[in-house]
Amino acid sequence: MANVPTWLSRFTIKFYVYEQSNLILTHTHLFSRHLGSNPIWVKHGRALHTHVLKFLDPTEYDQFVQASLVSFYSKCGKFGVCRYLFDQISEPDLGLWNSILSAYNSSADDTGLSMEVLCLFSDMQRGSKIKPNEISFVALINACADLGAFSEGIWAHLYLVKNNLKLNRFVVTSLIDLYVNCGFLEFARHVFDELPKKDIFCYNAMIRGFATHGYGHEAIDLFNKLLLEGLAPDDVTMVLIISACSHVGWVDEGCELFYSMRERYGVEPKLEHYGCLVDLLGRAGRVNEALEKIRAMPMEPNAVLWRSLLSATRNHGNLEIGEVALEQLIKLEPETSGNYVLLSNVYADINKWEGVKRVRRLMKDNGIAKVQGMSVVDV
């Protein structure tokens, strides 16, 4: 049975075709809104956009249509189109501002887009009479968290409090991520504790904070608390909690969580969970067992898993498995110098200088140059 968004998207297309065949011009916001939430309908979404441009005067459709189109193109990764559509409106309303902010915020790995969120928010504050709401601040705070922009983030938090805007679970989750990324774990815990009704996303953000900063026991305590409150862990929760077990040395407990999460919590093990398991076993020196788990995986292991195993072999001096890991890494990432350097360091740590020479010779034969390190300072 089709889920609701897919069903609604199919209905949207059929209804659109029916109207076109009967030469009926109608309001288009229903179409663009639901197609905008379903990127697989890229072709049909563009057709609807063409319909808007061809048959409707820009004065005849409201900013809701434009906001829906911005949302649609952002989910297709077409951020240039998003900005073009936004710039066509001389006086955008709050909904359109939120659409463009959320569009740029949807790609958290792109620091350039996160910077653009800060610039857009500043433009909204300076160049219009629009007052931001909670949705605006979720986008802003997420961007600050991605950039580590603490001063801008704390300003946003103070603005929310001063203007009596609701610190709902979406805002709180963003604030937790901000304070965790900036190293202020006590601030993150404070906003977490003040939220009366927490969902799994709030818990995940706080558990990540504890695990990231080395407070594995606190992360595990919080995991037990969410279970007592009747919340169901998701796949992100399991990645975080197995990682926390790794950091506190709870190897057997972490393995038990991994092996039981399908039956106990309904979470299907994914590549990320296997990565945590390999890290857990590798840190404990059980590198042979870690290699067995990689080879028994139902999916193809990626470079992250093999690199984690290679790092473990350096810490525990297992050259044989280190060479196996490097062989797989070279197949997956033949031009990544760090993989060769890591194995070379394994040999150097135990004074196996012939091994170091062999790895360097292999790098030279393959045309691999060691990448120079660099540091970046925010001024």
The three-state DSSP-derived secondary structure of the chain is: CCCHHHHHHHHHHHHHHHHHHCCCCCCCHHHHHHHHCCHHHHHHHHHHHHHHHHHCCHHHCCHHHHHHHHHHHHHCCCHHHHHHHHHCCCCCCHHHHHHHHHHHHCCCCCHHHHHHHHHHHHHHHHHCCCCCCHHHHHHHHHHHHHHCCHHHHHHHHHHHHHCCCCCCHHHHHHHHHHHHHCCCHHHHHHHHHHCCCCCHHHHHHHHHHHHHCCCHHHHHHHHHHHHHCCCCCCHHHHHHHHHHHHHHCCHHHHHHHHHHHHHHHCCCCCHHHHHHHHHHHHHCCCHHHHHHHHHCCCCCCCHHHHHHHHHHHHHHCCHHHHHHHHHHHHHHCCCCHHHHHHHHHHHHHCCCHHHHHHHHHHHHHCCCCCCCCCCCCCC
Token pair of 367, please?
């045309």
**What residue type is 171 in one-letter code?**
V
- Stronger pLDDT, 256 or 62, i.e. the higher one: 256
Question: In the prediction, which pLDDT does 371 show?
Answer: 55
Asked if 373 contacts 341 with a C-beta cutoff of 8 angstroms, the reply is no
pLDDT in tens, 142-163: 999 999 999 999 999 999 999 9
**Once rounded to an integer, what is the mean pLDDT over residues 129-138?**
93
pLDDT at 85 over 50: yes
pLDDT at 90 over 60: yes
**Once rounded to an integer, what is the mean pLDDT over residues 76-90?**
76
pLDDT at 316 over 80: yes
Report domain extents, the chain: 1-104, 132-197
Q: Lowest mean pLDDT of 173-177, 232-236, 366-370, name the range.
A: 366-370
Question: In the prediction, which pLDDT does 364 show?
Answer: 79
**Once rounded to an integer, what is the mean pLDDT over residues 219-229?**
96
Question: In the prediction, which pLDDT does 21 show?
Answer: 44
Chain mean position to CA 51 = 34
Question: In the prediction, which pLDDT does 174 show?
Answer: 97
pLDDT at 254 over 60: yes
Question: In the prediction, which pLDDT does 227 show?
Answer: 96
pLDDT at 80 over 50: yes
Q: In angstroms, what is the C-alpha Rg of the chain? A: 25
229-236 contacts, C-beta under 8 A, 24 or more apart: 229/198, 231/198, 231/199, 231/200, 231/203, 232/200, 232/265, 232/266, 233/200, 233/261, 233/265, 233/267, 234/200, 234/204, 234/267, 235/267, 235/268, 235/270, 235/272, 235/273, 236/204
Question: In the prediction, which pLDDT does 23 show?
Answer: 40
Token pair of 278, please?
């390999």
Candidate ranges 46-50, 120-124, 356-360; pick with highest mean pLDDT: 120-124
CB atoms closer than 10 angstroms to residue 376? 5
For tokens 């996160």, the residue is: 114
Asked if 67 contacts 34 with a C-beta cutoff of 8 angstroms, the reply is no
For tokens 């999916």, the residue is: 299
pLDDT in tens, 267-312: 999 999 999 999 999 999 999 999 999 999 999 999 999 999 988 9
